[in-house]
Structure 1
Amino acid sequence: MNRAFWKEAVVYQIYPRSFQDSNGDGIGDLRGIISRLDYLQKLGVDVVWLSPVYKSPNDDNGYDISDYQDIMDEFGTLADWEELLAGMHERGIKLMMDLVINHSSDEHAWFVESRSSKDNPYRDYYIWRPGGPNGELPNNWSSIFSGPAWEYDEKTDEYYLHLFSRKQPDLNWENPKLREELYKMMAFWLDKGVDGLRMDVINMISKVEGLPSVTHEGLAPGDLAGGGEYYMNGPRVHEFLQEMNREVLSKYDVMTVGETPGASVEDAILYTDEDRKELQMVFQFEHMDVDAGPTGKWEVTPWNLTKLRDILHKWQVGLAERGWNSLYLNNHDQPRMVSRFGNDGKYRVLSAKMLATLLHTLKGTPYIYQGEEIGMTNVKFPALEDYKDIEILNMYREKVTEGGADHDVILNAIHVKGRDNARTPMQWNAGENAGFTTGTPWLKVNPNYTDINTEQALADPDSVFYYYQQLIALRKKHLIMVYGDYELLLPENEYVYAYSRTLKNEKWLVLLNFSDVPQEVELPEELAAVNGVIVGNYGGEQPAEERGTLRPYEAVVYSLKS
């Protein structure tokens, strides 16, 4: 058993813009976070992952960085950030910063120089290509945020690559000087005391040489296609990460997690096998596509437990011996988990606790997204104007305004899958604007804040908050939750996810009912010898004769007799 802090930790993600506003401008900020540190300490989390707080024109809410070594004016100052770090460290909480190095903002000084002339020393910091003889794009890749992945720049009569927004030009990792600059910047933050780095779309930094167009049957000239096969998990990505580890990460006691869309179990092993010296964990997205249709996430498709369990099981088994799992069901880019995988109506509290039990009893490091710990839900804004996310607005323009799709169908998809579901302000109390701001919030508050808020949760001993607190405390007490072997049980059951965790002579049984009706569970005899309940979302012990029936959305963890 190779023990490590990052395996035993529980991480809490803060999306600063939506967490707590301290000055009434409607935008969350660093001083707002400082004012809530005692709340995080009470919850018991070990690490805070802070979404980007660097200087940015905010085309993509801070993921478009114009200065990597300064703080966004709306969020505060470097002195505020230093006070935040000190406040976390005083409370025994580590800080993980977001590292966005696949692309920068087009307002970054490097890009301003790069676009000024073809022979500028910074030209090669980005990916420039001439168009075709008749003005065709350099290739047919589409941007992840809709439209082509290329933007024409009149001044030098060339196109630059942007896998995301046109204001997020991709950095050219083939250039060793650029890599050196990025490593210096990483050291700047690590020298200030940062404890961890979450690396945004880090598996996209290496593109296939020549940037070839996508070719497949049925693709007409001028059609755009994804292109992911040419920039996800690219040819030099492992070489670059090993170099980063050698030049920077190995010199610090630092926790790392890489965001890796499109990564398979085999890819994840390469990224996270400790002997390879790249990353400690990755965020994979296979389970986040469980309700996506053939055309992608906006084609809302029903999911079922069998499909979700198969994916989670595959990753549990796949990374059991080498590598490590990150455990999450929502973040700033995903809808709220209780609305997506639970029941945000009658069984909101029970299903939120059931999903929390899943995340904290699988093998891996759990990530909590702000508001998850009080069971915050998706929002259904009736008007498109209420949404702010660039991905939503670009998609709507492409599908409805330009493509003629049905407004109601697309608005429903936004209600179900839109990123703004996760970005509505944190619900602190039942007062004006949920206690988030005294001004006008940058994004409207979810109207259900009068019923769902931290003040109410902290006053109710049976709340989702205290259940999370209990799970986090159990993880600190029982190494089996971190290092125990995972084994799937009842693989044919369509509504119950059952598994065991085993460490030496200790064995736990986890039973999770993903439905709103009671479920009968038949367990092998050796799993029926129950020692007692470790934790359960209905509270208390069930009579032995009722143990075979799980109530709606019930979660229960038993200690078994060895």
Structure 2
Amino acid sequence: MDRPWWQTAVVYQIYPRSFRDGDGDGVGDLAGITEKLGYLADLGVGAVWLSPFYPSPQADFGYDVSDYRGVDPQYGTLDDFDRLAARAHDLGLKLIVDFVPNHSSDQHPWFVESRQSRDNPKRDWYVWRDPKPDGSPPNNWLSHFGGPAWTLDEATGQSYLHSFLKEQPDLNWRNPAVVDEMMDTLRFWMARGVDGFRIDVAHAILKDPELRDNPLAEDAGGFHKPMGAYDTLVHVHDKAHPDVHEAFARFRQTVDGFDAQERVTIGEIHEYDDLGRWASYYGTPTEAGGLSGLHMPFNFGLLNTPWTAAGVRAHVDAIEAVLPDGAWPNYVLGNHDERRLATRLGPESVCLAGMLLLTLRGAPTLYYGDELGMEEVDVPLDRRVDPWGFRSGVPELGRDGCRTPMAWDASPGAGFSEGAGPSDYWLPLHPDHESVNVAAEAADPDSVLSFYRRALAVRNASPALQAGSYRPLDDVPEGVFGFERAEGDDRRLVLLHFGDDDVEVAVPEAYRGAPVALATHDREVEPVGEVFCLGPWAGAVVGPGLTAGR
């Protein structure tokens, strides 16, 4: 396989506050992550993505950055980061970090200077405008977190733009000095061993230069969860202006041109109604034979797709149809903004979802704890901390339930911290942590974790599953999504059953007599005949090669 690492590696997202507390204060940190990197290497993932760890007042838990080239003291130091990067590379893991270019903290020195006066040299590093004559905001744009996207600064008489919290002023990406500073920041982290960047709300960095009002929505409604007043507008001017593609080309040139190492840019792109527009973020063909845009815009489509065979296949086929030549797809089923997979899809679907994610053509991203079957936690009101739920007026938007600490063992504190007790953890543990934890599941061959380990082993040994072609099967029963992956001599048949009954699938002749390389239930190594029976919410990978012994 002649492919860059980011096309074949499985990415594992870590929310640093919740993975492992190395200093005993109840908050996860870089030293704790470093301690557990061996677990990830043994699991079989190829890359680790860290959510923000930069200095921050923590108004939005690190997505309000006050220094783009440092480490927040509660997470450690730059030396701790260097040790983490070195350990990851020693274990053969790539390292991806979050990059937050749309906005900084209002406590960032740039913004502190910017708000001092209208003629300050940093004034144009942010988006400032005069209020309307009646004192109302410059336009009708709304913040994701509730209320207008503008806050009046009494000292200078102008309002600044913030697409999120008022503590998160938007940077002005039309100022060349801002762009140059951001590119230098990418170089800073690449020099410290970073292998790639997940770019937060990437499509939002460039808005309509005329700041025109957004039109009213005829039918208010969010994508995958209600967003209150924000859904009353059609967001055509406050994000994704066409010249954003020029910024992505600059990202790509900076990363590709840094040195001889393969690096990746992955953009958080929320485009759901027009997959062609989503695919445009890959960019256009270049003279060198590649594409000019992001290496991959994140594909969140499965998070909103009906959990049925027909729904999932329709989404996958639609993605395959819109990809530009040379583009590589990707899929996610969970992250730090969504309800836990096991809760959203149901615990009976956890292994089926894992098999889907790890066998589709494309780069998969796993969210920490999903490999254990962790469920959403109903965090008590007095323990909730996420500002989105508080400030938007839509409590359901609170994301605390999917960000709770990782459980490593069955001890009272679940092995998350050696110092602090559970009552001092920044968020409470999930209530079933005594059984849903790494130690317990590692010892149980029938656990969710054991299944994920087998699935990753099969994927990592199969060129077809890592990089092969995708061909959906039409001659399968209703409720079954079947497809074939092939690369050279390696061919795999994937059968996924979305339903509560038993179903029989006619096996293509080429796979009759072949072993079951992977199954959601106890079926590995069983050679298949003319018909294969799948139980409720069950899946199997059929094909020669490595089989996953229990």
TM-score normalised by L of structure 2? 0.89
Q: Deviations over 1:136-173 (max 9, x none)?
A: 21111111122211111111111111111111111110
Aligned partner letter, 1:310:
A
Aligned partner letter, 2:188:
F
Q: Are positions 1:478 and 2:462 aligned together?
A: yes
Distance 1:469 1:28, change over 3 A: same
- Maintained 8 Å contact 2:511/2:543: no
Q: Are positions 1:270 and 2:280 aligned together?
A: yes
Distance 1:39 1:96, change over 3 A: same
Which runs of structure 2 are paired with 1:370-389 in the superposition (5 Å)?
370-381=368-379, 383-389=380-386
Aligned partner letter, 2:121:
P
> Across the two proteins, how many residue pairs are aligned to each other?
523
Which residue does the alignment assign to 2:310? 306
Which residue does the alignment assign to 1:393? 390
Distance 1:90 1:35, change over 3 A: same
Which residue does the alignment assign to 1:554? 538
Which residue does the alignment assign to 2:328? 324
Distance 1:153 1:40, change over 3 A: same
Provide the aligned C-alpha RMSD in A: 2.5
- Maintained 8 Å contact 1:63/1:100: yes
Q: Of 335, 342, 345, which aligns to 1:338?
A: 342
Distance 1:543 1:178, change over 3 A: closer
- Maintained 8 Å contact 1:141/1:213: yes
Which residue does the alignment assign to 1:513? 497
Distance 1:250 1:287, change over 3 A: same
Q: Are positions 1:432 and 2:415 aligned together?
A: no
* Deviation for aligned residue 1:2: 5.0
Gaps of 5+ in 2: 221-228, 284-288, 546-550
- Maintained 8 Å contact 1:232/1:262: no
* Deviation for aligned residue 1:542: 5.1
- Maintained 8 Å contact 1:9/1:46: yes
Q: Deviations over 1:372-404 (max 9, x none)?
A: 1111111123x3223221112223xx25xxxxx
Larger helix proportion of the pair: 1
Which runs of structure 2 are paired with 1:111-510 in the superposition (5 Å)?
111-216=111-216, 225-252=232-259, 253=261, 254-262=263-271, 264-272=274-282, 275-290=290-305, 304-319=308-323, 321-341=325-345, 343-344=346-347, 347=348, 351-381=349-379, 383-395=380-392, 398-399=393-394, 414=396, 418-437=398-417, 438-439=419-420, 440-490=424-474, 495-510=479-494
Distance 1:505 1:93, change over 3 A: closer
- Maintained 8 Å contact 2:515/2:527: no
Q: Deviations over 1:28-61 (max 9, x none)?
A: 0111112112211211222110111100001111
Distance 1:69 1:532, change over 3 A: same
Structure 2 SS opposite 1:75? coil
Distance 1:129 1:494, change over 3 A: farther
Report the more deviating stretch, 312-321 or 177-186: 312-321
Distance 1:32 1:219, change over 3 A: closer
Q: Deviations over 1:306-362 (max 9, x none)?
A: 334322331134327431122210011111112212x22xx3xxx322111101100
Report the more deviating stretch, 56-65 or 37-46: 37-46
Structure 2 SS opposite 1:510? strand
- Maintained 8 Å contact 2:410/2:433: yes
- Distance between the aligned counterparts of 1:48 and 1:478, measured in 2? 21
TM-score normalised by L of structure 1? 0.87
* Deviation for aligned residue 1:175: 0.4
* Deviation for aligned residue 1:461: 2.5
- Distance between the aligned counterparts of 1:83 and 1:506, measured in 2? 38
Structure 2 SS opposite 1:12? strand
Which runs of structure 2 are paired with 1:51-66 in the superposition (5 Å)?
51-66=51-66
Distance 1:507 1:139, change over 3 A: same
Which residue does the alignment assign to 1:12? 12
- Maintained 8 Å contact 2:141/2:238: no
Gaps of 5+ in 1: 292-302, 400-409
Q: Deviations over 1:105-154 (max 9, x none)?
A: 11101111111111111111111111111112111111112221111111
- Distance between the aligned counterparts of 2:324 and 2:376, measured in 1? 33
* Deviation for aligned residue 1:219: 10
Q: Of 488, 506, 512, which aligns to 1:529?
A: 512
* Deviation for aligned residue 1:504: 3.9
* Deviation for aligned residue 1:305: 4.5
- Maintained 8 Å contact 1:509/1:560: no
* Deviation for aligned residue 1:15: 0.4
Distance 1:483 1:219, change over 3 A: closer
* Deviation for aligned residue 1:498: 1.7
- Distance between the aligned counterparts of 1:30 and 1:261, measured in 2? 29
- Distance between the aligned counterparts of 2:527 and 2:76, measured in 1? 55
- Distance between the aligned counterparts of 1:330 and 1:315, measured in 2? 18
- Maintained 8 Å contact 2:515/2:528: no
Aligned partner letter, 1:389:
D
Distance 1:233 1:377, change over 3 A: same
Structure 1 SS opposite 2:493? strand
Structure 2 SS opposite 1:436? coil
- Distance between the aligned counterparts of 1:305 and 1:448, measured in 2? 30
Aligned partner letter, 1:242:
A
